[in-house]
Every structure is written in structure tokens, then in C-alpha cells.
Amino acid sequence: MPTAAAPRALIDAASELILGKRSRIELALTCLIAGGHLLIEDVPGTGKTTLAHVLARLFGLDFRRVQFTSDLLPADILGVSVFERDSGGFRFHPGPVFTQVLLADEVNRATPRTQSALLEAMEEHQVSVEGETRRLPEPFFVIATQNPASQIGTYPLPESQLDRFMMRLTMGYPDPAAERALLTGRDRRSLLEDLAPCADAAQLTRWRDEAQALHVADALIDYVQALIAHTRDGGRYRLGLSPRAGLALLAAARAHARVHERSHVLPEDVQAVLPAVALHRLPPLDPLPPDDAARMLLQAVALPH
């Protein structure tokens, strides 16, 4: 197993598979290092599953996928205790949530009850089934997807649940050059199978610890506070960023700085993760296209001197 790889090497490796999406890959990796969960909103076929697969594969992590449907029950995710005649007792059959990377596809198709079962597991890193609490494996990383195009028969995640995702990304269509390379290149699935892990869970934990230990200057905290204050008092949003969102922003900025091999966190790190971390938690008073919304937020707050 290769060790001491740089995060950049992982991004390079993933970019060979997922073409033209380097910034998304970087953010997804940042989210993983920061210990958060990821929500991807996009139409089907834009590489959401591939992204989840690639990340799991590069770290050599277990990967499970659950397709959410309206009849999915909490037990279908968490697991269930079954009576076994041989042993004469109940045995717990763990559900798909007991994995390291979980792809929850079309999470908004399931009922709020099932959604909240997953979201609680995400938050606590443990599940309670029939009175017994079971730890989930570490690392535990959920990539949930939502299809914004078809809203019929769905249960959109409420704001309080959205807040539990550290980041929200959209994949977007590839640019023409990437599209062409995709059309002429090898089959993605076989490429994925050939992909060798560049790191392992221990490496991920190390990066996580290193990100935690990065120097954060007062000036940076000032900046983060100014951003949060702007969302609360700036008059542009119906609801400002929560303290949890503030923590998530700083954690994501630390991870981003670690991905870029910096010894301290820069405003650039905050700005790089800000749209992904903040926009899904900020219901705007007048909706804007995502790019405009991101620019509006970034450019509204001056850096401290």
C-alpha cells in the first residue's frame, strides 16, 4: 500500500477518471478530510456515483450504495435483528449504513422518517437499533444525492437537515473538451476497477488531525465572523448561518488548507469552500443563479487588514 501520498496526488488520480471536474473533486476530498458529509445536487448521469466510488477506492474504503425510494424504511438502512432458530436468539443484521463510504442516491425520494434515520446516523456516527447503540465504522462519509429536476413525489430536505451536510455541490455538465475525452476514452467502469488505492483510512485520519492542528490566525477568525455576520445582518438572506455552519466553514477551510499543503489557513481557503459550505444553508430573499449567489456572498465582505 502506498503511503505518505499527498492529497494532490489523489486529486490527480481522480481527475483522470472524472474529467473536467477537478475543483469538485478537490471540494469532495476537502469535505472528506474535514469529516463532513456531502450533498450533491444534479441531474442523473453527471458522475455523482463515479465520484463516490473513486473517493472510496482511492482510500481503499468500504463502499455501499442505497437507492432511496418512497417505500424505504429506516430498518432498510440501519439493519434489523432477526430471530435465529439455530442459536435460539436474536442476531443483528447490519444495514448498508455500516460502511465507510455510503452513497445515498436520491435521498429526497424517501419519507422524512427514513431520511432522518440516515441523518441521525450521519450526525452521531452511531445508530440505535432496538435499544442498542452500535458505532459506525470510521471514517464514515455519506454522499447523498438529490435530483433537483424531478420534484414530484419527493420530500425535499428541510433546512434543519440540509444544515447537517457540510457541503453541497453540483456536478454540472462537462465542458466540450472533457465531454469529447469522455466519449472517445475507455469505459469508466473498467478504469475504476483498475484504479489502485493511493492512501488508506489511517492516512485520512492523519490528514484530518493535521488539518485540525493548522494555525488559524485571529485575522482569519475575524474574517469568518464578518462573513457570518453579513449573512445574519446583511439583509440578503432570510436566515443567517448557524453556529454549526460557522464551525463547518472553519473545519472545511482547515481541510482545504491541508489539501493545498499550507501551514496555516488563508482567506483563500475560506473563500474556496464558502459557496459549497454556505449557500445551501442560506435561503436568499431573492433567488439568484448559483454562481451569482456565490459571488454576491464572497464580494460582500472585505478582508480584515
Partner 1 sequence: MMFRRTAKAAPDLPPLGAQRTGWLLAVAASALLPHADHLPGWLGAVTLLLFTWRLAQWKRGWPGASGWIRTLLIVAGCAGISLTFGRLFGREPGVALLALLLVLKLHELKSVRDGHTVVLLGYFMLLAAFTYSQTPAMAALLFAAMGVITAALIALTGPPAAPLALLRQSGWMLAQALPFMLVLFVLFPRVPGPLWGLPLDAHGARTGLSDSMEPGSISQLSQSGEIAFRARFDREAPPARDLYWRGPVLTEFDGRTWRQGTAARRTGGTPPHPVAGPRSGYEVTLEAHGKNWLFALETVAALPAGARVSDDWQVLSGDVVRNRRRDRFESVLAARPGIEEWSAHIDAARRLPRDGNPRARALAAELRRQSGSDAATVDALLRRFRREAFVYTLTPPLLPGADGIDAFLFDTRRGFCEHYAGAFVFLARAAGLPARVVTGYQGGERNSVDSFIVVRQSDAHAWAEVWLPAEGWRRVDPTAAILPSRVERGLADLAAGEPVPFVARADLGWLRTLRHRWEAANNAWNQWVLSYDQQRQRELLSRLGMAQPDWQTMTAWMAALCGLMAGALTLWALRRAPGRDALARAWAGLDRALAPAGLGRAAWEGPLDYAERVAAARPDLAADLRAACTLYADARYGGAPLAPAAREIRARSRALRCHRTLHHR
Tally of CB atoms within 10 A around 125: 13
C-alpha cell of residue 102: 455510503
Site for partner 1 contains 303 (CB under 8 A): yes
Task: Select 62 or 268, whichever has its Cβ closest to partner 1.
Answer: 268
Q: Is the dihedral of CA 293, 296, 298, 300 positive or negative?
A: negative
By CB neighbour count within 10 A (0-12 exposed, 13-18 middle, 19+ buried), where does 194 fall?
Answer: exposed
**Residues of span 82-101 touching partner 1 by CB under 8 A:** none
The residue count of the chain comes to 305
Beta partners for residue 66, in sequence order: 104
Give least dist CB 14 to partner 1, A: 24
Residue 219 is a binding residue for partner 1 (CB under 8 A): yes
263 belongs to the binding site for partner 1 (CB under 8 A): yes
- In the numeric block, which cell numbers belong to residue 10? 489523489
Q: Which amino acid makes up residue 161?
A: Q
Residue closer to partner 1 (CB basis): 192 or 229: 229
For residue 120, the minimal CB distance to partner 1 (Å) is 24
**Binding segment (CB under 8 A) for partner 1, from list 30-38, 62-70, 200-208, 217-225:** 217-225
Stretch that binds partner 1, among 6-14, 147-155, 168-176, 211-219 (CB under 8 A): 211-219
- Distance (Å, rounded) from C-alpha 69 to C-alpha 142? 17
Among 135, 217, 261, 283, binds partner 1 (CB under 8 A): 217
- Decide if residue 231 touches partner 1 (CB under 8 A): no
Q: Does 229 bind partner 1 (CB under 8 A)?
A: yes
Task: Pick one of 224, 265, 278, 279: the residue that binds partner 1 (CB under 8 A).
Answer: 265
The H or E element containing residue 226 is helix 218-233
- What is the distance between the alpha carbons of residues 264 and 207, in angstroms, rounded to a whole number? 14
Q: Which residues bind partner 1 (CB under 8 A)?
A: 215, 217, 219-220, 226, 229-230, 232-235, 238-239, 263-268, 271, 285, 298-303, 305
